[in-house]
Structures are given as C-alpha cells and as structure tokens.
Structure 1
Amino acid sequence: MHERLTDKTLAGFAEELSARKPVPGGGGAAAYVGTLGVALGSMAGSFALGKASLDQFQDDVRADLEAAERVRGRLIELVDGDAAAYLELSQAYKMDRADASRADVIERATKGAAKVPFAMMREICSAIDLIEDLENKVSHMLLSDIGCGAILCRSALEAASLSVFVNTESLGDRGFAQSLEADCADMLDDYVPRAEAITRRVADRIRRH
C-alpha cells in the first residue's frame, strides 16, 4: 500500500471500505470505530479539566486522558496493521499449490491475521475501562458522549472478535486457535455487558434529569 488508510479523509476511507477491494474490511473498520469510541471519552474528559465543580477528579481525568491517547494511537495503527496482515494472507493463498512451503506460509499468515484484531480487542477493552472511569467525572452535558463512546466500543469489540474467529477457524494449530478463541470469549463476556451497562446508566441519568 502506497497510502496509509488512516491518511485518507473520512469520505475517502468510507469509499475505500465500500469498494470491491480486499482492504479495508471489517477488521480495519472495527479498529476505526473503536478509535472513535475512545476519542469521545477523551473529549468528554477534556472538558472536565479546569472545571471547578469537578476539581476532585482532575488528577484522575488527566491520567485517563493520557491512557486514552495511547489507546487511540494504537487503534489507529491497527487500522493499517489489519490491512497489511490481510494482504500478506492473500499473497500466501496466491502461491503455487505445488510449492511445498505454501501450507506453512498460509498458516503463519493466518495466525498474523488473527493476532491483529485480537490486539484490537485488548485495546478496546482498555478503552471501555477508561470510559467507565470517566463516566462519573465529566459534566452532565457530556454524558451522552460517554454513552455514545461506550456503544461504539462495544460494537467495535464484537466486530473485531469476528475477524479473529474467521481466521482461527481455518488454522491447523488448534491449540493456538482455541487459546485465542477462549481469550476472545472472556473479553466479550466481561466487556460487552460492562459497555452496555454504561449506556444504560447514562441513558437513565439523562432521561431523569
């Protein structure tokens, strides 16, 4: 790839996503959605800084914002990382079937293609942790952004998991595949309900206000 997907405009990325091209795909879209989710948490937290009524939370919010910046940067990298992993896998499948190394090359590339969305999931879980921590430390006027961030992160987490599972199902190394799948399931079981709970609490607080 000569141009990074993340250097494109929003419209350009959407156009690439809709085109008949192998990348970007669901994995890259998941990372991007997760980026938007954590960015919303950062925005809400940024407005809390310097606010007298939230003075007791200033140190916590600053720490959360620093962590969120790292998560956001990593997820942005994984948009292009996912595309690179998929292209490596597609090249592996194009190898001559008579090549004795083809199966091993495909196996390695498939593991690589599974590891990238798995890394996304770990970052998105961190994003949900941060949004959860910021929930009660931001202005009421920005609670909807916290809720939206939680919704986007939950969706991104589930979407990234599908990109893991679609690759692990074809792996010959079943021990590796099952271990990765189990870790994915644990993250989904823990963090999807937590993200949903944030959204429900935010909605209840807004509607009662």
Structure 2
Amino acid sequence: MSETKKMVDQNCRSFVESLASKAPVPGGGGAAAMAGALGSALGMMYLNLSVGKQKYQEYEADFQDKLQNLDAIKEQLLACVDEDAEAFYPLAKAYRMPKETESEQAAYQRVLEAALYKACSVPEKIMKLCSEAMDAIEYVADKGSVLAKSDAAAAVIFCMAAMNAAHLNILINTASMKNREEAEKITEEYDHILMLNNIRGSEIADQLTDEIRGNE
C-alpha cells in the first residue's frame, strides 16, 4: 500500500466513502480498528481533562501512565486499519487461483489456508489491543473529571464495538479453514475473550452511566 495514500491518512469523509463503496477494503476489520482507535482517543480525552488539576492530584501519576498506554494503543490500532487491508490481499488472490486440476486444487487449498490464518491475525490483534485499552480506562474511570465521565463511558463502548466487529472477522475466516481443530481452537479462544470483555465493558459503561444520571 506504499504506492497509494494509506487509508488511515485519508480525511474522515474519504474513509467513510471508501467504506461505503463496493471496494473490498476497508471493510469490517478496518472499521473495527478505527472504532478501537476512537475509543482509545476518547479515553485519552477523559484523562487529558483531568491531568494537572489540583482536585485530582493524587491520581496524577496514574493518569500520566494510562495516557501513555492509551496513546500507544491508539497508534497501533490506527496502523491496523491498513494492516487489515494488507492481510486481505493474499486471501483475495488465493480465491482467484485456478482450481481445475487436482494439483491446482491442492495448491489452492494450501495457499487459501495460509491466507485465512493471516487474515485472522489483524482482528486478533485488534481485540487484544481494545482489551488493553479497556484495562486502562477501567483503572481510571472513577478517578477523573466528573464532567467527562460520558467520554470515559463512550470510550469503553467504542472499544466493545471494535472487539465485537473484529471477532466477526475472525469467525468468517475460521469458518473456511480446512483444519477444523485449529479453527475451533482459535474461535474458542476469541469467543472467550469477547465474552469476558463484553461483560466487563457493560459493567463499566453501566456504572458510569448511573453516575452520570445521578443514580450513584
């Protein structure tokens, strides 16, 4: 993708229009990465509105630490927008391979299987990064600016959405794998990761929402 402008460097409208088109990339994986980056950025906004304030001075070191964590995660998720597209190209190429003879069929299956594993790698990375972002946000969610709690809650919701979208991209690839034992191992691992983070994310978001409503 070096010869063309990276998708992540497009303006917002261009990215969304590309996403809306029939072009194969960006797709669900790129959108998931962008959603995760937005969640991480919102978590940083919450912290940036809290750092340096006398009211929250006792948590300043925590805020600075988590700001660094979220910034690194944000940058990695932004990189995943294009990494996901790069991982798709071998898969698209594999599907176009000839399949007339037995040897062609064997070559096709071999190349396709490798491409499917590669296509899983970026959504797996997205899920892990978003889980790390949620760790950082959860750690400081009740310590920062009261007026920015909606941003902290939205940050968690964006990360959850990104994880759910990335998970679907894993499922669509493992469903086509010939090695069913390995496919099921991958699926079960990320099913479990998703379940735990959906429960955790919902609890964090619900708690913050209750605090915003004044129910706590």
Deviations 1:176-205 (A, max 9, x none): 211211111111121111111111111111
Asked if 1:155 is matched to 2:164, the reply is no
Determine whether 1:94 maps to 2:96. yes
Matched, 1:47 2:49: yes
How much has 1:115 moved relative to structure 2? 1.4
For structure 1, list consecutive stretches of 5 or more residues without a partner in the other structure.
none
Q: Distance in 2 between matches of 1:173 and 1:63?
A: 42
The number of aligned residues is 209
Compute the TM-score of the two structures, normalised by the length of structure 2.
0.93
State the match for 2:115 in structure 1: 109
Deviation track 1:2-59 (CA, whole Å, cap 9, x = no partner) reads 2211010000000000001111101110110011001100111112111101011011
Aligned to 2:86: 84
Partner of 2:22: 20
Within 5 A, what are the aligned runs for 1:48-197? 48-97=50-99, 98=101, 99=104, 100-197=106-203
Instruction: Indicate the larger mover: 110-119 or 168-177.
Output: 168-177
Secondary structure of 1:170's aligned partner: coil
Structure 2: gaps (5+ residues): none
Which amino acid in 1 is paired with 2:186? L
**Partner of 2:178: helix, strand, or coil?**
coil
Which string of whole-angstrom CA distances, capped at 9 and with x for unpartnered residues, describes residues 101-127 of structure 1?
221111100110011101110001111
Letter in 1 for 2:142: N
**Identity of aligned pairs, percent?**
33
Partner of 1:203: 209
Q: Give the stretch that moved more between structures: 173-182 or 187-196.
A: 173-182
The one-letter code matched in structure 2 to 1:75 is L
Q: How far is 1:82 from its partner?
A: 0.7
Q: CA deviation at 1:136?
A: 1.3
How far apart are residue 175 of structure 1 and its match? 2.6
Aligned partners of 1:6 and 1:122: how far apart in 2? 20
Whole-angstrom distance in 2 between the partners of 1:194 and 1:207: 20
Larger displacement relative to structure 2 (54-63 or 98-107): 98-107
